[in-house]
Amino acid sequence: MIVALTNSNLYSNNFSNDWKEFREDYHQLFRNVSNTKLKDLAAPSAIVLSSLLAAQFDEEVRNIFKSIDDNNFNQFQIVANQLGEPISFCVFPGLVYGSGHIFNSKAMRKTGRLMYESVLLNGLITGILKTTLGRARPYVESGNSRFEHFTYKDDNFMSMPSGHTSMVFAMATILSYRSRSTLLSIIYYAMAGSTGMARIYFDKHWFSDIIAGAMIGTASSLLIINAEKSRKNNIETTEIPIIQFNITIDKIKF
């Protein structure tokens, strides 16, 4: 019973510390945003320009995927599509975070926490853009340039950016950052890319939606990573230095 109570207190303390760091990361994120400089607009500009460039190939890419008639490829796309479903980006970070508690691993808890922070930020950005832009999905058959701005009730006009793609790329970026392994990074981003392909294959998104989603998901995680690093640096620079004095008294012989 004593062991159970000790573990319970440990889990409670760990959760409290993680929740505190979660909040502090977002406070730092908002501080970073408020201090945005002209050079910091390079990333949003790159997303816009890349999306506009990709839009020139929307119809060609869509036709290529529509021409594929292979059962094995279809099954693969079904699995890839599931990676971007809400149950994946809600449950998977929780499994990683929960495993950190079970195995008493601070590193796993941190990975799960960062994924949740990234998913939350990415979901906010993606949701706002989807409803603001109101782009028609490919299956509506009205072309890639039809927009019904500020549409939030009709899913047919929430094509840009791809939420599935942005979420998977957000998680892939955190996992890549935490793993610090080139091989694992390639695997994570390959899986994220397959989800983007699946969204085109099932005619849910244009190619430019996928490019925008991938870049937004990646950027969201980079913002979270940068906020955490800034917070740590602030803590280190504001700590009060501790000065230790060691006094040695030699023995005096008479």
- In a domain, residue 249? The reply is no
DSSP states along 133-180: H-BPPGGG-S-TT-B-TT--S-GGG--SS-HHHHHHHHHHHHHHHHH-
Whether the Cβ atoms of residue 213 and residue 164 lie closer than 8 Å to each other: yes
- Residue that is written with structure tokens 């999306």 in the block: 51
CATH code, domain with 216: 1.20.144.10
- Render the burial of 178-187: b for 16+ CB within 10 Å, e for the rest: beeeeeebee
- In a domain, residue 140? The reply is yes
- In a domain, residue 248? The reply is no
Give pLDDT tens digits for 50-87: 999 999 999 999 999 999 999 999 999 999 999 999 98
Give pLDDT tens digits for 1-39: 444 445 567 678 889 999 999 999 999 999 988 888 877
- In a domain, residue 67? The reply is yes
Cα–Cα nearest to 79, from 240, 171, 189, 194? 194
Report residue 201 as tokens.
Answer: 């294959």
How many residues are there in the chain?
A: 254
Provide the residue range defining the domain that includes 131: 43-230
Total tally of structural domains belonging to the chain: 1
